[in-house]
Amino acid sequence: MYAIIRAGGKQAKVQSGDVIDIERVKTDDEELTFAPLLVVDDDGVAFSDRDALDKASVTAKILGGSAGPKIDIFKYKNKTGYRRRQGHRQKYTRIEITGINLGSAPAKKSAKTPAKKPAEPAASEEE
């Protein structure tokens, strides 16, 4: 079973036990809950209907913080003496997916056969 979740403006495909980095989350809780955008169960059936996903949830445990790679920004214009130096390092929160709960699975619709039309009486030819 896997799910697609949205965190920090990005989407990620997660399974139970996965460890991923998401945009920094400031919270005192040790557990996060995400509303999935899509859930695919073990049988390969995808659930993307809003009604089915209202009860679904993805839970994750916060493992700690981390930082991305250092990005150096250097602006320069020739012959004018213009130089600007700047750096950036994105902060991330590392989480571990602990479970994917689909809630109560919706009842599968049975294939309805089209209703048969009543047989028309055979036209009797009178001679």
pLDDT at 116 over 60: no
For residue 15, the tally of other CB atoms under 10 A from its CB is 12
Q: Domain for residue 114, yes or no?
A: no
| Residue 19 included in any domain | yes
Tens-place pLDDT, residues 76-101: 999 999 999 999 999 999 999 999 99
**What is the domain count for the chain?**
1
pLDDT of residue 110: 40
- Domain assignment present for residue 21? The answer is yes
Rounded to the nearest integer, the mean pLDDT of the chain is 86
First vs last Cα of the chain: how many Å apart?
A: 71
Q: Which residues does residue 52 pair with via DSSP β-bridges, in sequence order?
A: none
Q: Is residue 28 part of a domain?
A: yes
Residue 109: the pLDDT is 44
Model pTM score: 0.70
Interval 50-72 mean pLDDT: 94
Range of the domain at 84: 2-101
Residue 62 C-alpha from the chain's centroid: 18
Residue 18: exposed, middle, or buried by beta-carbon count in 10 A (0-12, 13-18, 19+)?
middle
Residue 90 within any structural domain of the chain: yes
